[in-house]
Structure 1
Amino acid sequence: MHRTRKSGILLHPTSLPGKEGIGTLGRSARQFVDFLHLAGQSVWQVLPLGPTAYGNSPYSCYSAFAGNPLVIDLAALVGDGDLASCDVKGSFHVDWVDFPQVEAHKLPLLERAAGTFFSAADPQRMEEFWHFCDANNWWLQDFALFMALKSRFKGKSWSAWPRDISRREPAALQQYGEDLGPQIGAHKYVQWQFYRQWNDLKSYAGAKGVELFGDIPIFVAHDSADVWANPGLFHLDGAGQPTVVAGVPPDYFSKTGQLWGNPLYRWEEMAAGGYSWWTARLRSSFALYDLVRIDHFRGFEAYWEVPAKEKTAVNGRWVKGPGEALFTALETALGKLPIVAEDLGVITPEVEALRDRFGFAGMKILQFAFGSGPDNDYLPHNHVRNCVVYTGTHDNDTTLGWFDSLKDRERQKVLRYLDCAANNMPWGLVRAAMASVAALAVVPLQDFLELPASARMNVPGTPRGNWSWRFTGEVLTEPLAERVLGLTETFGRLAR
C-alpha cells in the first residue's frame, strides 16, 4: 500500500462526458486527469474494463484480458486515418448511456476502421499491430475467435455452439479460424486500439502524478473466452455447463442469499499448473494499473458453492479456497503484489489473516459505519492505516441519496458523529474520509458533485437500469477543484 497518504476519485470511464454516447479514453479522459491533478488527487479508480456481456455489467465480461470496445475513442481513429470525420457523428443522450444505441452505432464503425487499416495501413502501424498480436497471442487469438463465433451463432453461449467447436476440436478450430479470418482480424485490431489508447492515457496520467487503480472480479462469466478456452480449470459437465456455481449464503439482507451463477474454479487443477492462469491474469492487470482491487477477496479463503440446478443460494456449502498457496505463487512470479482486498460483509478471522499475511489493504465504507455502536469497524476512529476508506462504492447509493433515505433518528446519529449540519452533506462524510488514518481515501465523483440517488451507478441484485450514469463536462469547475484541494492539503493527502 502507499507509504504516503493519498486520495482519489472513483469514476468509471463510461461515465465521462463526450459526443459518442458513452465515455471514452480520449479527450474527456485526459481532461478528467487534468481535474484530478488540479484538485490534488493522485489516484483514479475505475471499475473492470472488460467487454461487457448481457446487462452491461463490468463484473460480467466476455474476457478477463480484453478491453471494452465501447470506450475506444473514435476521434483517435479519425486521426489515425482509419475513419472519416463524418463517420463519427451521431445523436446520443448526454447524461446517461443507452448501451444498445451506442453498440449499434459504434461496433460497425470499429469494424469499418479495421477494414480500412488492413487495406491501407502504413508499414510502421502494421508492424506495431503485429507486435501487439504476437505479445498477446496467448489470450488474443482465443478471444478474437470466440467473439467471431458468437456473431456467427447469433449470440448464443459457447456451450450451445456445434459440438465440434464448443469442445475446441483441433480441426474445427482450424476451419473456423480460416472461415472467420476477417472477423478475427477485426477483433484483434479493436483490442490493439483499446490497449494503445489505454496505455497512452496511463502515460498521460503518470506524467500528472495520477495512479490508475483497477478492479478485477474474483470469478469470470461462464459465457466467456476464458471458460471456453480453459474448460479444465472450471467445474463443468460434459456439455460445458457448470456443475456448481458461485454465490453468497443467506444473511440479514437476503433470506435466500445471492446466486451469482459464475462457474467455480477447479483449484486443484490450477495448483497443478502452478496457478499460471491467475499469474497471467494479474500480470496483465498490473500492466494496466498501478493498484488493483480484487472483488470478493474472501472467496480465496473459502467460497460458497451451490449446485448449478438450485434456484437460490440456500442449499450451498463453504469450500476451502487456495488461500496462501495462490498468493505465495503469485508473489514468487510477480513480486510484491499491489492489491486491495475487497473484504466487506461477514469476514472471518481466517480471511483477515490471509489478507494481512500478504500485507494487502482492506476496505472501509463510511456508509456502513453508523448501523451499530462505537465499535463498528467502519467508523473512522477504528480504521487502520493499511486500508482504503470510501464514502461509498459503485454498489452504494450516492452519499446524499443514502443520507436522505435514513430515518430522522439515524440522520441525527450521523450528524452528531460528523459534527456537521444536514445542509453540509455529503461534504461532512467526505471530510471524515479525508481525515481517516487510512493510507488512501477514495470518493465517488457523484459525492463531490453533491448528487442525489438518481446518480447511483449500480443497485446490486437488479438486472436493469445500472451502469449508465454520466456527468457533463461543465461540472468539473475550478472552484470545485479548489475545494477538494483544500481538504486534501488539510489532511496531508497531497502527494506531489
Structure 2
Amino acid sequence: MLFQRSSGILLHPTSFPSQHGIGDLGKSAYEFIDFLKRSGHKFWQILPLGPTTDEHSPYIMNYSTFAGNPLMINLEQLAQEGLLKAEEIIPLEEEDRNQVKFDKVIPHKTIYLQKAYTSFKKQFDHQPPAEFEIFCQKNASWLNDYALFMALLDANESKAWNYWEPALAHRDPNALNAKIEELQQPILYHKFLQFIFFKQWEELRRYANQQGIKIIGDISIYVCHNSVEVWANPDLFQLHPETLEPLYIAGVPPDFFSETGQLWGNPIYNWEEMQKTKFAWWIERFKTTLQYADYVRIDHFRAFEAYWSVPGGDKNAMNGEWIKAPGYEFFDLLQQELGNLPVLAEDLGIITPEVEQLRDHYHFPGMKILQFGFGGDANSVHLPHNYVQNCLVYTGTHDNDTALGWWETASAKEKQHLAEYLGYSSPDDITNINWVMIRLALSSVASLAIIPLQDMLNLGHSARMNDPSHNDGNWRWRYQSSELLTEELSHQLLKLNQLYGR
C-alpha cells in the first residue's frame, strides 16, 4: 500500500486542552482538525482509544481493545443533548494543565457521566432511544461481555477477574446469568458510556473526513490480562488452567530502551487455538478498528512473524525465547475478508529478514525514526538517504523523547553526525533542532511523514508522551490551549508541505 505523498500529525485525544483535566472529543478536537487542514496535512495519527487501567497505557493496560475510553467523552456535548445542565458543569481546578492527573480526572468526570446516565435512564424508561438500541445490537459481539465485565469489576472493588468467585472467573453460565439479572443497571450504564463515546467519535471522524483528513488508528499487538478479552476468551491465551494467570508473558529482549529488555506482562496468545477459529477474534478486531479509523497501524508488527515469550512470574524480559507466529496465514485470511489491507507496520526493534519479508509480502509500509539515524554509520535504515518510498518517517514516536529533548541529551557523536549530514561543520551551527528534524522528515522520499505535535510546538523533555524504560508517569502530556495552534504555525507548516510536495 503506497500512500500519496503527504504528511500528518501524531497526537492522542487525551492530549487536547479541556476544562476537565484530560483531552476529550469536544471543541479542541475540532479546532485541531481545522489546524491540520490549514497546515496542509492529510493525516491524524492516534494511539489506541480503549479504556485504560493502571498507569493508563493505551497499549498494555486496557480493559478492552474494542471499547472506547469514557474519559474522552465531552461533557459540554452531553449538556447540548439535554443529559446535563450546562450551568452545573464545573471545570476541574488544575495546577498543571500540561499533565493529565488521572487521580483527579476520574472522580471528576465520573460524577457527570453518572448524572448524564440518570437523565438518559429517564428517557430510556419512557421509550428506549432507537439509536441506542441499534448501537447495542450492532456491537453486541463485544459490548455485552464488556458491559458485564465492567459491572463485575466495579462490584469486585476492581480486583482482577481471576480473583473473582471461581464460578464467575471460569464463566459458569448459571453464575453469569444471575449476575446479568442482578447488575442490570450497572451493565446498562457501561453500554450507555460506549454509546456516547462512539457517537461523539463518529461525529468527529466524519468532520475530519469532510475536511480531507484521514485517521490512522492503532492496534496494540497484545491486550491486558485484566481485560474483558482475556476473561471472555481464555482459550485464546496461554493461561494456567486453575489460577488463570498467564503461563507466558509478552515483552522484548534487551534493546535500545532497556538493558534487561521490556517486560510488558501481557498474556501470550494461544495461536494454535486461533488458527482453529480462522483467527475470528483478530479479524473482528480489525473490522471494529476500521469502523472508527481509516488506516490501522499495527504496534509491534514483528510479533506476527515471531514473538518474545517470557515465563510468567519473571521479573525482567531477559529469560525469554523467540517463537514463530502464523503471520502469513493470518494476513491471507484478513485479506480475504477486507480486500485491500489499510495496514501500517510498526517494524522497530529487533527486525530480522523474515519480519521484513512478511511486511513486504503484503506491501505494508514500515517506519523510520530520524532520532535513531545518527548513532551509527551511513548504513542506518533510519537515515533519509536509505529510505524506500513505501514507508513512514517520524521525527520521533510516542515512545521517543521530543526532538528538542533528544537533542539536549544526544551524544557528541550523534550531534556531530547530524551536523555533517546537514552540511554544517559543528553542532553549534544548528538552531531550532525541532524544525531541522521536521524539514528532514518532510523532504525525504518517504511517502508519508508524521510529526508529533510536541515537535511543532518546540517542546522539551517534559512533553514526552511515554518513556518505555519507566512504568510510572507516562501517557499524561497535553497542550494547554488551542491558541498555541496559531495561524503563523499553520502557515509555516503549509509552506513546508507545499515546498516538499506533500
Does TM-score exceed 0.5, indicating one fold? yes
Alignment partner, residue 497 of structure 2: 488
Counterpart residue type for residue 25 of structure 2? L
Cα distance in 2 for partners of 1:19, 1:369 equals: 39
Runs of 4+ in structure 1 displaced over 6 angstroms? 122-125
- Do 1:248 and 1:313's aligned partners in 2 also have CA atoms closer than 8 Å? yes
Cα distance in 2 for partners of 1:248, 1:170 equals: 37
1:461 aligns with 2:463: no
Counterpart mapping for 1:115-194 below 5 A:
115-120=118-123, 126-194=129-197
Cα distance in 2 for partners of 1:394, 1:11 equals: 9
1:452 aligns with 2:456: no
Alignment partner, residue 381 of structure 2: 377
Counterpart residue type for residue 64 of structure 1? T
Cα distance in 2 for partners of 1:124, 1:202 equals: 29
Counterpart residue type for residue 309 of structure 1? G
1:335 deviation in Å?
A: 1.3
Counterpart residue type for residue 9 of structure 1? I
Per the normalisation by structure 1, the TM-score is 0.97
Q: Deviations over 1:17-70 (max 9, x none)?
A: 111111111111000000000000110111110000100111120001000000
- Do 1:365 and 1:389's aligned partners in 2 also have CA atoms closer than 8 Å? yes
Counterpart mapping for 1:307-386 below 5 A:
307-386=311-390
1:95 deviation in Å?
A: 2.1
Cα distance in 2 for partners of 1:252, 1:386 equals: 25
Q: Which moved more, 1:467-476 or 1:307-316?
A: 307-316
1:409 deviation in Å?
A: 4.2
Cα distance in 1 for partners of 2:423, 2:211 equals: 35
Q: Which moved more, 1:246-255 or 1:10-19?
A: 246-255
Counterpart residue type for residue 260 of structure 2? T
1:40 aligns with 2:48: no
Distance 1:431 1:419, change over 3 A: farther
1:476 aligns with 2:485: yes
1:407 deviation in Å?
A: 3.1
Cα distance in 2 for partners of 1:415, 1:328 equals: 45
Counterpart residue type for residue 14 of structure 1? T
Cα distance in 2 for partners of 1:378, 1:408 equals: 19
Q: Deviations over 1:252-289 (max 9, x none)?
A: 65342222111011111111001000000000011111
- Overall identity of the aligned pairs, in %: 49
SS in 2 for 1:303: strand
SS in 2 for 1:363: strand
Q: Deviations over 1:307-365 (max 9, x none)?
A: 10322222211111112001001111111111111101120000000001111110000
Cα distance in 1 for partners of 2:88, 2:153 equals: 26
- Do 1:418 and 1:429's aligned partners in 2 also have CA atoms closer than 8 Å? no
Q: Give ranges in structure 1 of 5+ residues lacking alignment.
A: none
Aligned residues: 493
Alignment partner, residue 89 of structure 2: 88
Q: Give ranges in structure 2 of 5+ residues lacking alignment.
A: none
Q: Which moved more, 1:10-19 or 1:112-121?
A: 112-121
Cα distance in 1 for partners of 2:348, 2:66 equals: 25
Alignment partner, residue 217 of structure 1: 220
Q: Deviations over 1:392-442 (max 9, x none)?
A: 000100001101112344313212213464213111110010011111000
Alignment partner, residue 76 of structure 2: 75
Distance 1:125 1:20, change over 3 A: farther
**Over aligned residue pairs, what C-alpha RMSD do you find?**
1.4
- Do 2:255 and 2:349's aligned partners in 1 also have CA atoms closer than 8 Å? no
Cα distance in 2 for partners of 1:148, 1:268 equals: 31
Counterpart residue type for residue 31 of structure 1? E
Cα distance in 2 for partners of 1:415, 1:83 equals: 56
- Do 1:87 and 1:109's aligned partners in 2 also have CA atoms closer than 8 Å? no
Per the normalisation by structure 2, the TM-score is 0.96
Alignment partner, residue 431 of structure 1: 439
1:216 deviation in Å?
A: 1.2
Counterpart residue type for residue 122 of structure 2? S
Q: Which moved more, 1:470-479 or 1:311-320?
A: 311-320
Alignment partner, residue 97 of structure 1: 100
Q: Which moved more, 1:110-119 or 1:154-163?
A: 110-119
